[in-house]
Structure 1
Amino acid sequence: MPHREELPGPSAGVRHDPRAVAAIVVGGALGTLARAALGQAWTHDPTTWPWATFVVNLVAAAVLGWTVTWLAVHRPRSKYRRPLIGTGLCGGLSTFSTMQLEIVRMLQAHAVLLAVGYTLVSIATGVAAAQLGTTLARRGAR
């Protein structure tokens, strides 16, 4: 058995394009700032619907669906649009972890029906938003 130093690590041989990383960082910063601003402007307590998180997740799903489809159809010269918009902007804008925290807080506040409804509606509308983005990108490609 080889010594520990001889085993390849999880990123052995992986090279990251610094421009792609920069695109992700810029997009992520923009998405995170937008989400934080909306979260500050649209506050809620654990017994009410968390509209800020719900809306940013839907917008991010729709934009991601549109972006991935549009880029697959058009294949632009720049290979940095997908990391900028998809991974960066949509990743920074959307927030599954905040959604989970809100669900836990709803349950702690004994708002069980709200928590279940929020979970189911968020998943269903997120999938629908991604499909809508995909459909709009395909229609625009014709």
Structure 2
Amino acid sequence: MPSLIRAHADLLPAIAVGGALGSLARWGIAEALPHSGGDFPLATFVVNATGAMLLGLLMAFVLGPWSHTRYVRPFLGVGVLGGYTTFSTYELDTRGLLAADAPATAAAYLLGTVVVGLVAVWVGVTAGRLTIAVATRRARRRRGHEIAPQED
């Protein structure tokens, strides 16, 4: 195990800085969208949904054009998005809604977060793949125009 840690020790600062940035972003959203008692926890819902979409988008790039990079996935995926998303708060919020005698809100939140999260990942992956495809086509066209002889 120590050799595994030594082999990846250079990733730890990237993960730590990313995690701090993601956590600060989550805190900012929680401050902007506070909730109490039996209210729908909108901040956590927004954070987890947008985080799922961003993770899907990131994975499209990490498995595609950024596959050769060493620090992007640990920094953005594990660090930023790991610090940003908060499924532990999601569980705590659900428990709080049940304790506040708001079972319908708890059920909507519990199921809605999962469904919206899965759709958001799909949207992110799809958007990433489309973006990569468009960029690839444009790059090929540009290369083709550079190679083609110009007419006078």
TM-score range, shorter chain: 0.7 to 0.9
What is the alpha-carbon distance in structure 2 between the residues aligned to residue 39 and residue 13 of structure 1? 39
AA aligned to 1:134 is V
What is the alpha-carbon distance in structure 2 between the residues aligned to residue 108 and residue 76 of structure 1? 45
The question of 1:46 aligning with 2:37 is answered yes
Alpha carbons 1:46, 1:102 under 8 Å: kept = no
The aligned runs of 1:62-141 (5 Å cut-off) are 62-141=53-132
AA aligned to 1:14 is L
Q: Deviations over 1:61-105 (max 9, x none)?
A: 111111111111113543100011111111100000101111111
Match of 2:46 in 1: 55
Query: How much does 1:134 deviate?
Result: 0.2
Match of 1:23 in 2: 14
Match of 1:3 in 2: none
AA aligned to 1:92 is G
What is the alpha-carbon distance in structure 1 between the residues aligned to residue 58 and residue 10 of structure 2? 19
Describe the SS at the equivalent of 2:127: helix
Query: How much does 1:38 deviate?
Result: 1.4
Question: What is the TM-score with the length of structure 2 in the denominator?
Answer: 0.82
Gap runs ≥5 in structure 2: 134-152
Q: Which moved more, 1:81-90 or 1:66-75?
A: 66-75
Q: Which runs of 4+ in 1 moved over 6 A?
A: none
Q: For 1:14, which of 4, 26, 46 is the aligned residue?
A: 4
Q: C-alpha root-mean-square deviation of aligned residues, in Å?
A: 1.3
Choose 1 or 2 for highest CA Rg: 2
What is the alpha-carbon distance in structure 2 between the residues aligned to residue 84 and residue 75 of structure 1? 13
What is the alpha-carbon distance in structure 1 between the residues aligned to residue 70 and residue 18 of structure 2? 14
